[in-house]
Structure 1
Amino acid sequence: MSHARLLPVLTWRLELFTHTVPVPFAVYFSAVTGSLYSLEEYLSMGAAATIAATAMLLGAFYLRYIRLKKASYLEDRSSVDPNLLSSAKSIYITQPIYESFVIAGRWFFGVLLAHLIVYLIVGYRPNLIATIPALYLGIIPISFISYLFITEYSIRPALSKNKFREVEARTRLFFPYSKRLLVVVMAMISMPFSLLGYMLYATVDGRIRLENPLLHLAIMAFLFSVPLVFTAWMVTEAIRSRLSSVTGFLEEVGEGNFGLKISPSSLDEFGKQEQRIGKVVERLRGLYEEIQSLNEGLESKVEERTKQLKETADELGKSLEEIQKLKLSQDGDYFLTSLLTEPLHSIQLQDSEYSFRSLTIQKKKFNYKQKERQIGGDISLAHSIRLRGKPYIAFVNADAMGKSLQGAVGAIILGSISRSMIERTPALYRNVWPERWLKNWFIELQKVFEAFDGSLMASAFLGLLDESRGVLYYINCEHPSPVLYRDETTMFLEPKEKYFKIGHSGIGRNVHIEVFQLKQGDVLFSGSDGRDDLLIQSEIDPDDSRFLEIVGKAKGDLDRTYELILQEGEITDDLSLLRIETPKRNLASTEILLKDRNPEKKNGIQKTVSVQECRRLALEYSSGKKYTKAGELGLKYVQRRPTDTEFLFTVSKLLRKSGKIVLSIDLGERYRMRNPIDSDNLLHLAEMYASKSRLERSFQLLAEATAISPEHPRAKKLSEFLIEKTAQISESSEDRRILR
């Protein structure tokens, strides 16, 4: 490709990426988080971004033009001085790294220039200035690595010319794929974490207020997915094209075409291998020519050829050494990744009577600095939190899709999001119900994994354990069913609904929360599919109940369970087990203290009744239309028996009849998270929201109920009421506007 064609093609590809992905994203992010409210401020921001982007584009184009012009000049003059061709190749081969640093500088100075222009037009905006570090962390890494791969892809045709195959570049720069992939992973993690993290911090801190947060989150998710998916595609395409190029060259050599030449065309391991392969092929070509011309002096030729073969063997030995170095470098990357995953495999409980133990055996083993380590996608963690003043334990046992590094990246993302959710609980979620906390955890994981468009998924068992009651709230995302060991018998804890893996696009937002009452001395085992994928007599065992029998034989002991698994067969996949044991005390309360209000006695009369008696009394008062008393008793009952899901709905209706609408809505929403397809509850909630003038929420719930039960008799009546209510509000707003 000539200089006249290379310059516009390279500029078009690079600037198309920059001005269709990072630049609009940066402007949108700054506008949303920079507290810009008026049209003038938005226009000023747009003008500043346009001026800064144009200035940086022209500067980068000028630098690119000068450099490629020089390379073209040296290439044209190489007929006079052959050494100039090597200098020209050096410019071309280092152009990708040069472009990467140029785009980093463009963003660094361009963001400062844009903010300076905004300052000169509309004045000082502290919230806008505060977005600069987040923009740097979120955009510079992804632009750096994208420019590297785009430029390499564009420069490669120029380096494929035959004259460049015969010379080597004069440069010592070397950018291995291990470091490239590390930069890719860091860029893909830092972009959503830095930008979304700042938005969350600014929202909590009160610096910004978002009128429609779901819309902004949807826009941000879309804008995140474009550069992340593009970068992943570029990395995959770069590796594929390089392997295809080397494979095609070797295939032609294998067919006897020894006239081909190859030399390094990149500053990575592929370039090193091209150099080695080129030398080996050159040797083989000489040998082939000697064999063709052999007609006399056979003895001397054999001796000479033996010497040449020895030299060839030495070259192959050097190639083997290079491969061993690459293997050591790869193990170093594995080692660094394992250091990132280890802190996430944590169990941190505070003054808990419950016992949590985990065991993780990753399939991928490697040695680094005389130490054996492991890496994979399985992860288990458990942490103490407090919700509404009560102690809970949040835990997860998960298996990220993919082998070795890919699975480890999924485990890192899942563990990091989970730890972030736990750390943010005291500030943001301490007053929410356990069902809502668990649902928010699941949705955060789903949104991030879904952004990878199916290339990164994970099966998981997400749980939240009420320490005071022994009540387990959980969601099973296509994970093997946990095994309950109770009274020396075992059983599967089968959910009513098992979701697809986290990251699957088919998962909806109406999450079904399962509830289960644990008893004293119970042992619960959650494990990845490595527990079932045993190789027995050269075949994978199809019997999923084998693990159930193993837990029973081990009597709920974790170490003994692992020993029995090894005795049954060979483990063929990553294996992780999380063992939960309840304390040796009665977890479910059997009595409730009631207080009868007596007008003649100031403190009333106190008495103790059984939990079931309290339930019966609530229903009895309800039959007598004493809804206030019925609601109070029902509320006491569900606080002691939170697993009675159906009665939760009954109490919500009693509270509504007694006028406690807010508390009734709380219980109705909890019931909805456990049973999202109950149309009666959906209409019940919609009617209460309508009474509170929250019409948008009421319309949403009405639509869900209608989709489930189109002919429900209450749906039509509620729809007419909401339409009439909306019209009244519109007329009232119009009247106020006319009066002004």
Structure 2
Amino acid sequence: MFYFKKIGKSLKLKTIIMVISILFITISITLTINLIQIKDRLKAALEREIYTSGLLVKKIVDTNLSFFALENLSGMNLFLNEVLNSNENISYVFISNKKRIILYHNNLSYENTPLDQAIYTDRILTDSWKILPIGQYYESVTPVSFDNQTIGYIHVGVDKSIIDKEIIKIILKTVLIFIGALIFTILMLIFFISKKIVSPITALSQEMKGITKNMNLKKQVHVIGQDEISVLGKEFNLMLEEIRNYSENLEEMVEERTEELKKSLDQVNMLNLQQSGDYFLTSLLINPLMEENKQHSKNIEMDVYLSQKKKFDFGHRKGEIGGDICIIDEIELQGKQYTVFVNGDAMGKSLQGAGGALVMGVVFRSFITRTKLMKIMRNFYPERWLKNCYEELQNIFVSFNGSMMISAVVGLIDTETGFICYFNAEHPWSVLYRDKKAVFTDESLSLRKIGIDIEKQNLIIHSLQLEYKDVFLVGSDGRDDIMIGYDEKTNTRIINENEYQFLEIVERSEADLNQIILEIKKMGEITDDLSLIRIFYKKEIMPEISEVEAFKIKMKAEKAFQENRLEEAVNIFLNLASKYKKQAVYSRIIDCYRLLGNNYLEKEAEILETALIQFPSNLDFIFNISLVYKKLKNYEKALDYGEKFRLYQEYHINNLINLADIYRLAKNDIGFLKIMNILKMIAPNNVNYIKLKEITEKEFISSQNSRIK
């Protein structure tokens, strides 16, 4: 008991509560099971008791029935009282006849009354013995028979409360036993805890306090035995030994650890310096490729914004590096000045992305330089130049086997007319801002990233005719990748996924580049490299004559055309075209030459060339000039314009049939078979395709016959 007083109150209370709870639960479960069994046994014993009493009464009744009728048995009431008095558990006993009339009852007041008016009426009588629960009683019903017929019943009842009284007695006895057992168990538990747990813990605690109070790290606690308390003492001794070692060698260990940290920090700084050096050297290679951005056209105003996500310090220099690249330059194609531009976003972060941007810049700059130096490249039409540029970029990037890819928009702008043609290799959609409204110019994926090795990926060229004060915008996906919030539940950033948000930004900022950047930053944090190129067309084309005067001249030409004075009509239209440059005017000139016949094919080709200079995006002009040059047997130019048309509309049936026919006439079997295979897949039932196929077969048979002869 002395040792038990020393243990904490919390531990004592918890131990006692735990033991009492376990005993209580165990005894409660056992008691409940036993009470259920005892109740069933008591009920069975009472049933046997009243059944025996019923048999006793039946034996007396059966003896008297040999001499008297059931209704005329004398002294039966006295006998039933004796049965009742001889057994203190029986509550009542009576005899009823078949008509449910009580003939004899231990209580005379119930004699000759109907059974249904007795104390308990819920009885269903049968010809066999049974126990019936009647209200608060269990009743034994024994049939009385004479000459094999049931003539009455003997009823013996016992109060159900007898069972409850017996159970209460048993519970009281059990509770007394439980309390005694509990007191005994607690005393034994106190003795056990005091002897086996409290005493060793108290001794160990006192020794620990002495050691920690005096800070005597050389002293150790005494350990006896192999139990858990002994293990605790051993672990305490080991801890003291480690603390003593740390204490004796602390200064040396601190110096050693400081030296290790200093070396690690030096290594980190060295690696950081090396990495920053790599960043710096890479930026020295990339920046010149973009710093040469230049354009001198008075009709085109171009602005560039470029901000790489990765910033670095190298020495006293600050810089940035990433995968975005913007290049602007000027070239001459077929005697016309073009501004060439590229906006790219290389795959990967930091150095990987910068590597892709570097390759893009070097290859593109090389292609521009060769264009300026080589006459053959300057003779390319713009679409052909873009096609060759794409093929060269694709071949270079594919050679990296998928480790380097770039999305990009590469385009050309006719500085005089404002005509733009470009290709989009999985780059964010370009934007046209006109009349205070911003729209996407290419809302479909026509080309995968440069560097993706796809067996068949045909280039699709997009074109656009800029008007006075139009703004054309291209940019990387940094314009959309804005962190607009933070989800605390999932611990993730919320990134803008609405690409149409950029159109709203352009409209709010009226396509002003600086204002666009401010609007993007207002949305949230920019999470990626961001680059934008803004192209502003500021040439206003003013007709030399008024609309009214042009209309009068046009009506005069139309009158000549209707009266079949075609040469006069052509001259009037040509005069009008020199002062009033409209597509409809050139179309009427072409109609006149077409009606004048093949003698005017060269003039028709000449006017089509002139019309394409003014309206380079008119696909009808491109298609018709290919047909004209085919008739003139200038198959080289006819193919050029036919393939140019195919860069805009790859599967235009009439153009494909025209191209196949030109390849046939030019004896270019490879080109012919290539186009014919495409037609076979997309238009096998086309009349012109079938006709061309028949002509080819006849030519082949004819050539074979010629060889035989």
Deviations 1:544-581 (A, max 9, x none): 12221222222222112112211221100000011111
C-alpha distance in structure 1 between counterparts of 2:403 and 2:410, whole Å: 21
* Structure 1 residue aligned with 2:191: none
Q: CA deviation at 1:733?
A: 8.0
Please give the secondary structure, in 2, of the residue aligned with 1:347: coil
Deviations 1:170-195 (A, max 9, x none): xxxxxxxxxxxxxxxxxxxxxxxxxx
* Structure 1 residue aligned with 2:381: 433
Deviations 1:129-168 (A, max 9, x none): xxxxxxxxxxxxxxxxxxxxxxxxxxxxxxxxxxxxxxxx
Q: Aligned pair count?
A: 442
Structure 2 portions without partners, runs of 5+: 1-235, 487-493
* Residue 488 (1) aligns with residue 436 (2): yes
Contact 1:519-1:588 at 8 Å conserved across structures: no
How has the CA–CA distance of structure 1 residues 296 and 454 changed in structure 2, closer, same or farther, with 3 Å as cutoff?
closer
C-alpha distance in structure 2 between counterparts of 1:323 and 1:661, whole Å: 67
Q: CA deviation at 1:351?
A: 4.6
* Structure 1 residue aligned with 2:263: 318
Q: 1:607 aligns with which of 569, 575, 581?
A: 575
Q: 1:550 aligns with which of 505, 508, 528?
A: 505
How has the CA–CA distance of structure 1 residues 495 and 668 changed in structure 2, closer, same or farther, with 3 Å as cutoff?
farther
* Structure 1 residue aligned with 2:451: 503
* Structure 2 residue aligned with 1:195: none
Structure 1 window deviating more from structure 2 (366-375 vs 617-626): it is 617-626
* Structure 1 residue aligned with 2:282: 337
* Structure 2 residue aligned with 1:393: 339
Structure 1 portions without partners, runs of 5+: 1-290, 736-740
Bigger fraction of residues in strand: 2
Q: 1:402 aligns with which of 348, 355, 379?
A: 348
* Structure 1 residue aligned with 2:682: 708
* Structure 2 residue aligned with 1:666: 640
C-alpha distance in structure 2 between counterparts of 1:386 and 1:292, whole Å: 89
Q: CA deviation at 1:296?
A: 6.6
Q: CA deviation at 1:299?
A: 4.4
C-alpha distance in structure 2 between counterparts of 1:300 and 1:662, whole Å: 93
How has the CA–CA distance of structure 1 residues 300 and 466 changed in structure 2, closer, same or farther, with 3 Å as cutoff?
closer
* Structure 2 residue aligned with 1:622: 594
Q: CA deviation at 1:637?
A: 2.6
Q: 2:253 aligns with which of 273, 294, 308?
A: 308
C-alpha distance in structure 2 between counterparts of 1:529 and 1:589, whole Å: 44
Match of 1:698, as an amino acid? F
Match of 2:576, as an amino acid? T
Match of 2:431, as an amino acid? V
Contact 2:328-2:341 at 8 Å conserved across structures: yes
Deviations 1:62-110 (A, max 9, x none): xxxxxxxxxxxxxxxxxxxxxxxxxxxxxxxxxxxxxxxxxxxxxxxxx
**After the TM superposition, which parts of structure 1 deviate over 6 Å for at least 4 consecutive aligned residues?**
291-298, 587-594, 727-735
* Residue 520 (1) aligns with residue 468 (2): yes
* Residue 357 (1) aligns with residue 331 (2): no
Q: CA deviation at 1:671?
A: 0.8
1:641-660 matched pairs, under 5 angstroms? 641-657=615-631, 659-660=633-634
Q: 1:565 aligns with which of 517, 520, 535?
A: 520
1:212-231 matched pairs, under 5 angstroms? none
Match of 1:481, as an amino acid? W
C-alpha distance in structure 2 between counterparts of 1:471 and 1:465, whole Å: 6
Q: 1:690 aligns with which of 657, 660, 664?
A: 664
Match of 1:486, as an amino acid? R
C-alpha distance in structure 2 between counterparts of 1:649 and 1:297, whole Å: 92
* Structure 1 residue aligned with 2:122: none
How has the CA–CA distance of structure 1 residues 524 and 727 changed in structure 2, closer, same or farther, with 3 Å as cutoff?
same
Please give the secondary structure, in 2, of the residue aligned with 1:580: strand
Contact 1:347-1:356 at 8 Å conserved across structures: no
C-alpha distance in structure 2 between counterparts of 1:322 and 1:684, whole Å: 69
* Structure 1 residue aligned with 2:391: 443
How has the CA–CA distance of structure 1 residues 703 and 301 changed in structure 2, closer, same or farther, with 3 Å as cutoff?
closer
C-alpha distance in structure 2 between counterparts of 1:457 and 1:587, whole Å: 45
Match of 1:643, as an amino acid? S
* Residue 379 (1) aligns with residue 325 (2): yes
* Structure 1 residue aligned with 2:189: none
C-alpha distance in structure 2 between counterparts of 1:467 and 1:375, whole Å: 32
* Structure 2 residue aligned with 1:422: 368
Contact 2:576-2:585 at 8 Å conserved across structures: no
C-alpha distance in structure 1 between counterparts of 2:674 and 2:254, whole Å: 79
Q: CA deviation at 1:352?
A: 4.5
How has the CA–CA distance of structure 1 residues 466 and 559 changed in structure 2, closer, same or farther, with 3 Å as cutoff?
same
TM-score (norm 2): 0.57
Contact 1:358-1:577 at 8 Å conserved across structures: yes
Q: 2:531 aligns with which of 569, 573, 576?
A: 576
C-alpha distance in structure 2 between counterparts of 1:362 and 1:471, whole Å: 31
C-alpha distance in structure 2 between counterparts of 1:408 and 1:588, whole Å: 48
Q: CA deviation at 1:682?
A: 1.6
Q: CA deviation at 1:435?
A: 0.7
How has the CA–CA distance of structure 1 residues 326 and 660 changed in structure 2, closer, same or farther, with 3 Å as cutoff?
closer
C-alpha distance in structure 2 between counterparts of 1:727 and 1:326, whole Å: 75
Q: CA deviation at 1:321?
A: 1.4
Contact 2:433-2:439 at 8 Å conserved across structures: yes
C-alpha distance in structure 1 between counterparts of 2:444 and 2:241, whole Å: 86
* Structure 1 residue aligned with 2:195: none
Bigger fraction of residues in helix: 1
How has the CA–CA distance of structure 1 residues 589 and 319 changed in structure 2, closer, same or farther, with 3 Å as cutoff?
farther
Contact 1:410-1:458 at 8 Å conserved across structures: yes
Deviations 1:493-550 (A, max 9, x none): 2256531111122373531111110011111121100001111122111221222122
Percent identity of paired positions between Structure 1 and Structure 2: 36
Contact 1:588-1:641 at 8 Å conserved across structures: no
Select the structure of larger CA radius of gyration: 2
C-alpha distance in structure 1 between counterparts of 2:426 and 2:349, whole Å: 18
Contact 1:450-1:505 at 8 Å conserved across structures: yes
Contact 1:397-1:526 at 8 Å conserved across structures: yes
Contact 2:297-2:415 at 8 Å conserved across structures: no
Match of 1:312, as an amino acid? R
C-alpha distance in structure 1 between counterparts of 2:684 and 2:264, whole Å: 71
* Residue 369 (1) aligns with residue 295 (2): no
Deviations 1:443-481 (A, max 9, x none): 111111122222211111111111121110011111111
How has the CA–CA distance of structure 1 residues 376 and 733 changed in structure 2, closer, same or farther, with 3 Å as cutoff?
farther
Q: CA deviation at 1:631?
A: 4.5
Deviations 1:641-699 (A, max 9, x none): 22111342133224434555443333212111211111321221121222122222222
1:254-333 matched pairs, under 5 angstroms? 299=244, 302-333=247-278
Match of 1:365, as an amino acid? K
Deviations 1:208-228 (A, max 9, x none): xxxxxxxxxxxxxxxxxxxxx
* Structure 2 residue aligned with 1:452: 400
Contact 2:469-2:536 at 8 Å conserved across structures: yes
How has the CA–CA distance of structure 1 residues 409 and 294 changed in structure 2, closer, same or farther, with 3 Å as cutoff?
same
C-alpha distance in structure 2 between counterparts of 1:413 and 1:589, whole Å: 48
How has the CA–CA distance of structure 1 residues 634 and 299 changed in structure 2, closer, same or farther, with 3 Å as cutoff?
closer
1:170-249 matched pairs, under 5 angstroms? none
How has the CA–CA distance of structure 1 residues 298 and 680 changed in structure 2, closer, same or farther, with 3 Å as cutoff?
closer
* Structure 2 residue aligned with 1:412: 358
Contact 1:366-1:374 at 8 Å conserved across structures: yes
